[in-house]
Structure 1
């Protein structure tokens, strides 16, 4: 399957017309139609926009990979129980510091007391996800090759 066929398949899976997709990407419909027909190949910026829009890798769009999903996440090491405990402890400490009236007690101009419950939960979830990702990236970056699986 070439890149034009892949683009057409992805577009149809989203239920979009060529015009709707071209509008969202801010390109001409005729330009996009030529991509699907395989007459021209999109530039790197457009391939990146397409990959982000469809949540696939650029390699998938260009036909270099059979995998649809962007697999950067699967390349990162998994967290151990100790890592999970460390994240929970650090998150608790961070939340505690945010609740204090001094120091870095404000987020976007609001203290934790000013936030409603939903905003508070979203902030905590965002902090936790960021800490998990940072820990996984650090494990990949700083684990010697001989200990990697």
Structure 2
């Protein structure tokens, strides 16, 4: 069965066991700061997951809310392939800004 064909509760259980490798509902509920009965109700589909819960899953474990709710994407998302380039781009931009600042100072001195 594809993830998109599963219920949000089934995806939640799959995430807990396979992605996060957390064996018991008690352990994950404790980490999230909610009761075990509430967490189990989410997994069993007895209770709809609220935004607060989906936010906690994302903030605590990096789990994408779209995956839990809709089965779209993957549990941890699809990181942009270019994110590793960001530090290098920032260094390059910083050096360009410094060069421009130096040129501006030089021009300002000529104007005076």
**Structures share fold, TM-score greater than 0.5:** yes
**How far apart in 2 are the matches of 1:64 and 1:8?**
13
Residue 69 of structure 2 corresponds to residue 62 of structure 1: yes
1:37-116 matched pairs, under 5 angstroms:
37-71=44-78, 73-74=79-80, 79=85, 83=89, 86-87=92-93, 89=95
CA contact (8 A) 2:15 2:75 kept: no
Aligned residues: 89
Unaligned runs of 5+ in 1: 94-149
The two structures, once aligned, show a CA RMSD in angstroms of 3.1
Over 3 Å counting, the alpha-carbon distance change for 1:79 and 1:20 in structure 2 is closer
Kindly indicate whether residue 39 of structure 2 is the aligned counterpart of residue 32 of structure 1: yes
Report which of the two structures shows the higher radius of gyration computed on alpha carbons: 2
Deviation at 1:84, TM superposition (A): 6.5
Shift of residue 79, structure 1, vs aligned partner: 4.8
Q: Where is the helix percentage greater, Structure 1 or Structure 2?
A: 2
For CA contacts below 8 A with separation 6 or more, give which structure has more relative contact order.
2
Normalised TM-score (structure 1):
0.49
- The equivalent of 2:17 in structure 1 is 12
CA contact (8 A) 1:10 1:54 kept: no
CA distance in structure 2 between the aligned counterparts of 1:58 and 1:70, rounded to whole angstroms = 9
Measured after TM superposition, the shift of residue 2 of structure 1 is: 1.2
Q: Give the TM-score, by structure 2 length.
A: 0.62
Which of 2, 7, 10 aligns to 1:2? It is: 7
- How far 1:28 sits from its partner (Å)? 0.8
